[in-house]
Chain A
Amino acid sequence: MKNIHGESFDVQLEEENSTILFKGALRLCGTEDYAPILDMLKETLTSPAMRIVLDLRELDFLNSSGITMLSRFVMEARDRPGIDLQVLASEAVPWHARSLRNLQRLMPGLSIRLT
């Protein structure tokens, strides 16, 4: 298990089931600061047979630079054949219903489970 955390957030990669868990509020300053998290996300793309899960249910806040980071990852996943990407989202977190559909526009095969 790998982990990146800051004052207000925590991101965890569970390699065995290709799941990335996000918690808290992410408002880092631009591409450079998001690079370590993006690199961790990309590690999942090396095993395309598996389903990759982004669990955002406890990610209460994400700034637009963070949305860009997710967009970037989704586009990388889209450009590799055979990647099955699922996003877990929560109805209780307002930004999920508002902004995640933009990721689906980038990758129509992306599944979003809003619970």
Chain B
Amino acid sequence: MMMSETLDKYGERAGDCEYLTLAFSPISAPLRSRWRNNGLSADFLGDYVTTFLPANGALPASGRRQNEVKHAVTYIANELLENAMKYHQPDVDIPIRIRLELASDHIAVSVSNGASLVQAGRYKAFVEHLQEGDVDDLLLRQQEESARSSESTMSSLGLLTMISDYEAQLDWRFDIHPTQPECITVTTSAVLPLKGVPGASA
């Protein structure tokens, strides 16, 4: 695992942001033994946010609110990492990255992984479906469907709960790998506007 503060795809806002990036090379261990790492990393990011929040000055030092934000970051980071670990294309030289961005008005969690053209296409179709539909209806339908069991619908339930239950704004990027054009770097970002953090005082 490596840490850096330099991943700068959205670097134009570097002046008022703080970043933390973790990167994993998923070929080094099988999925099941990596699974524990998702939770550890997600917990770490959630804890990290709590030390940042009071220092920001924009938030009341309310323990309850801090707990809400911490949990939201942990849940979102965990779901995005689980999806990335499940769907990562193992034979591509693209690490799985999770990036936490802390700004005065929002927190963003972005996760990227490598995917084949087919996988990326499927995911893109789901994203389009998500952007067109009513999230609460989709969530109810996905719950009914995934209860009848399929791993792929389960992953979309994670995204739907982020939007519906955590009021996260999701965004996606699909970038063609510079040297392996049959591979796509898929990035899913979840933004939590700090004013709108549920459970916080308005």
Contacts and interface: CB of A to CB of B under 8 A. Distances in A.
A29 B32 contact: yes
Nearest to A97: B199
B165 A99 contact: yes
Contacts of A102: 139-140, 143, 161, 164-165
A75 B144 contact: yes
The prevalent SS among residues of B at the interface is helix
Given A29-B35, A63-B82, A106-B144, A95 B71 contact: yes
Interface stretch (B10-18, B107-115, B146-154): B146-154
Contacts of B72: 94
Nearest to B151: A30
A64 interface: yes
A68 B143 contact: yes
B166 A29 contact: no
B154 A98 contact: no
Interface string A12-32: 000000000000010101110
A71 B75 contact: no
A7 B40 CA distance: 12
B158 A64 contact: yes
B104 interface: no
Q: For the side of the interface on A, what is the size category?
A: 20 to 34
Contacts of A67: 143, 157, 161
Interface string A52-82: 0000000001011101100110010000000
A98 B160 CA distance: 13
A2 interface: no
B47 interface: no
A84 B68 CA distance: 31
Interface of B: 31-32, 35-36, 38-39, 67-68, 71-72, 74-75, 78-79, 82, 139-140, 143-144, 146-147, 149, 151, 154-155, 157-158, 161, 164-166, 198-199
16 contacts: A27-B82, A29-B31, A31-B149, A61-B74, A63-B82, A64-B82, A65-B82, A71-B146, A72-B147, A75-B144, A94-B71, A94-B199, A102-B161, A106-B140, A106-B143, A106-B144
Interface of A: 7-8, 25, 27, 29-31, 61, 63-65, 67-68, 71-72, 75, 92, 94-95, 97-99, 102, 105-106
